[in-house]
């Protein structure tokens, strides 16, 4: 005899598995901790200040335009 399968349970189980796989992909793609995000932001700000500090002329200065 064949095994009887409840289709409602099978659909729900399939949806759970797919949701879990999507969650795993999202954790990999977007999964930075708050500390890692703040570290990246501070490094980006430091690099901007470094570049801006070595600029010869500023665009907002009307005398050099």
Domain hosting residue 44, numbered range: 11-53
User: What per-residue confidence (pLDDT) applies to 62?
Assistant: 61
Count of domains observed in the chain: 1
pLDDT at 58 over 70: no
CA distance 6 to 41: 51
**Residue 44 pLDDT > 90:** yes
Q: State pTM to two decimals.
A: 0.47
Question: How far apart are the C-alpha atoms of 17 and 24, rounded to whole Å?
Answer: 11
> Would you say residue 61 lies in a domain?
no
- Tens-digit pLDDT profile for residues 8-41: 999 999 999 999 999 999 988 888 888 988 999 9
Cα distance between residue 57 and residue 65, in whole Å:
9
């Amino acid at each position: 005899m064949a095994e009887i399968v409840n289709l409602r349970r099978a659909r729900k189980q399939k949806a759970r598995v797919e949701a879990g796989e999507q969650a795993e992909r999202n954790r990999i793609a977007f999964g930075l901790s708050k500390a890692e995000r703040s570290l990246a932001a501070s490094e980006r700000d430091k690099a901007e200040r470094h570049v801006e500090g070595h600029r010869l002329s500023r665009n907002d200065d009307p005398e050099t335009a």
